Amino acid sequence: MKNINEDTLDINNNLLVLNNCLILFIITELMVGKCLFKAKNKKVFNRKIEEYEETINLDGIEEKLNEDYINNLNFGSIILKYCHILINTLSKENLQTFYYNINTLKILPYKIKLIDLLKGRVVGGKYNPNNSIQLVEKYKYALPHELTHMSSTIVKNNGFILSGFHQIKGSNSYGYGINEGYTQYFTEKYFLDSFPDIPQAYPVEMEIVKKLICVIGEKEMEDLYFHSNLNGLINSISQYSSLEEAQSFIAAVDFLKLYIYKIYKSKELKNMLEIKLQQINYILLKCFLNKQKEEQNNGISAEKLKLEREKFDNYLGYEISIENIFGIDTLNIGVSIDAEDTLKRKILKKDF
């Protein structure tokens, strides 16, 4: 069996195999989709990708922390500690939204609702576009995650909410899943040492983000997030795939965010989740291989390419699946891409 982790890095052959996978994904999605087009589900499963908004310029924002105001907030010491870490972590350019919001932030109690209990939903905190954080007191260490949302959220005059990679206007929402994944990733990376009780959250979305960072790059992802630049993220992904695939990738992660943690999943929903995860794996690997092909053409050494590949493979192996993340066998899915032989076998047998 020839492994694409070998020094030869036969990138072109693996890209060819992946392109064959895409045709099967489309056919399978159309077939499964027929089972889902009930009236109550049409809006959810047929979500249209809305035109996304450009980020806005916050040059000239006063770079000053009102420590007296922050200390007087509930959990002020936690918030102030977060602020000092963030200021020492981010570039000056990436702190503009943080300074725009921090000195008017409000902390409010969050009362757990019956619907939260019925849906098995644990809500520790919630950042609202009116620049307030609602917090369940016993989950006070959810604050760093919510403060990261605050540091990347701007409400435009036309009513659009730009929150990291998430864009919202009325009931229209796009980029929710990838935004939560990156917010949790950034929070754990920079704040877990100082706040070891930060709740674990969004495991699927976070693993997707880790692989995406191998394609886009750590600094570029950070810059795009703190400028609320979803458009820039889509353009960065499309450099190694296509605009349509980049948009469908964002939408697929949104779908996962909405349904992957549901306690009860119908057979149709499980099938659709399988397809979405297959598409996500396909696009992530295609982008990564195209990036490596470009680097190979630019004279990057085989040794460096291999190190990059090992880092990419580090995140749950080659594929992201619910089984890998949760250790359960409810959805044993994903396209295995560790070798051409395995891929071809799955394609020929339609074994996914």
Residues 47 and 45: their CA atoms lie apart, in Å, by: 6
| Residue that wins the pLDDT comparison between 9 and 165 | 165
CB 224 within 8 A of CB 233: yes
pLDDT band at 107 (very low <50, low <70, confident <90, very high): very high
Reported pTM: 0.80
| Residue that wins the pLDDT comparison between 196 and 318 | 196
Sign of CA dihedral 229, 96, 210, 178: negative
Residue 38 has pLDDT above 80, yes or no: no
Residue 35 has pLDDT above 70, yes or no: no
The percent of residues above 70 in pLDDT, for the chain, comes to: 69
Which residue, 336, 347, 291, is CA-closest to 9? 291
Strand partners, 132: 106, 128
Q: Which of 112-121, 186-195, 232-241, 272-281 has the lowest mean pLDDT?
A: 112-121
Highest mean pLDDT among 97-106, 167-176, 273-282: 97-106
| pLDDT tens track for 324-345 | 665 543 333 333 333 333 433 4
Residue 105 has pLDDT above 50, yes or no: yes
| pLDDT tens track for 150-206 | 999 999 888 889 999 999 988 888 999 999 999 999 999 999 999 999 988 898 899
pLDDT in the model for residue 63 = 84
Burial of 338: CB neighbours in 10 Å, binned 0-12, 13-18, 19+:
middle
| pLDDT tens track for 109-162 | 887 766 665 555 556 789 999 999 999 888 899 999 999 999 999 998 888 899
| Residue that wins the pLDDT comparison between 229 and 6 | 229
pLDDT band at 7 (very low <50, low <70, confident <90, very high): very low
Residue 346 has pLDDT above 80, yes or no: no
Highest mean pLDDT among 35-39, 61-65, 113-117, 207-211: 207-211
